[in-house]
Amino acid sequence: MKLAFTGGGTLGHVLPALAVWDAVRSLDSSAEAFYIGGRGERERKAVEDRGLRCFSISTGKLRRYFSLRNFTDIFRIIMGFFQALSILRRERPDVLFSKGGYVSVPVVLAARFLGIRTVSHESDLTLGLANRINARFSDIVCLGFDSSLVDGRKYIHTGNPLRPDIRRLVGLKGEEEEGLILVLGGSMGARQVNALVESSLDALCPPFHIVHQCGRDAGQGPVHPGYERYEYIDSQLPDLMSRAQLVVSRAGAGAIGEIEALGKASLLIPLASASRGDQVENAAWMEERGAAEVLHEGEDFVAKVRQLMLDDSRRRQLAQRAQKLCMPDAASLIAGLLVQKRTAGRGQ
């Protein structure tokens, strides 16, 4: 079996695809694969570190608003289509797995042109622009959330693939550290979250201990008792999440999936300006199910954090409801669909 993977723009597209690749290899140890992505160095390194060949194509961002760059980017997308066409013709994969993002569109179109079966995956509650296009040319669309799109035929609820270091902790209840709050601003940082935390240190530390991932471009931060600040938390993140009594995070699908998997109480601060409001939708979905608290515009961050940290019963309730939403075998479910599509006829 030979697989092609595509998707990108951020590591949030690449890492779940690599989790699926791990699951495929557990089903078929002789499987081969390669990756078609953009020119981001972090994404390329992540792919090559897992032993996959990585091909870069020209990409153009898909925007929902007027920009002069839309006119130039359409030519980059066309160029990317022909580059993807050449790669797919030469490599002849059995199946393409697309994780979405603007990089994936020309690859999915090229695969359809060549008659290569395609499985796409959407992490968020609703389809993004790239996946709305990809879905029309895909045999199966896997959904991270149990939404109204699910029909059990083309649109299948699989959940979101977990990276191995998170997956191995599923079902293991680690001992939480009294007063520990983990704040995740995202690997690239989140200025609003960073500002909220930094302006609240006098009110929160002590009695609480905050570990804060602020992002690589956040600059110099404050020094304060009970406060640890890191640009990026890598291999230590699963352990920190497991030990934290509360996780404060953006509402990206990847972060929510890990919160669910580890059964953590969380305070979500959705990025309202995220491409299509996907974080707002993700956070509302969690809040409606009683699986997370959400910081709404105008609410007091310090008061919300204190309330959650002082209410053990509420945190336990949030954690239990979050964990019930987790689909820890998402990567294996998707891998099974890829193996099936290797031999199934188009549209079956």
Instruction: Indicate the annotated binding residues for UDP-N-acetyl-alpha-D-glucosamine.
Output: 163, 187, 279
- Residues contacting 92, CB < 8 A, separation 6+: 2
Q: Report d(CA 207, CA 178) in Å as an integer.
A: 10
Peptide bond into 207 cis (omega under 30): yes
Q: What is the DSSP letter of 147?
A: -
Note every long-range contact of 114-117, with CB atoms under 8 Å and residues 24 or more positions apart, other chains counting. 114/85, 114/88, 114/89, 115/346, 116/4, 116/88, 117/341, 117/342, 117/344, 117/346
212 neighbors 229 (Cβ within 8 angstroms): yes
Neighbours of 49 (CB within 10 A): 9
The token duo for 51 is: 């032993």
Q: Report d(CA 197, CA 182) in Å as an integer.
A: 11
Q: Report d(CA 248, CA 305) in Å as an integer.
A: 9
DSSP alpha helices (H): ranges in the chain?
11-27, 41-49, 69-91, 104-114, 129-136, 164-167, 191-199, 201-204, 237-243, 253-262, 278-288, 301-310, 312-324, 330-343
Q: Report d(CA 98, CA 37) in Å as an integer.
A: 10
The token duo for 309 is: 């940290």
Taking phi over 0 as left and psi of -120 to 50 as alpha, with beta for the rest, 179 belongs to left
Binding-site positions: 163, 187, 279
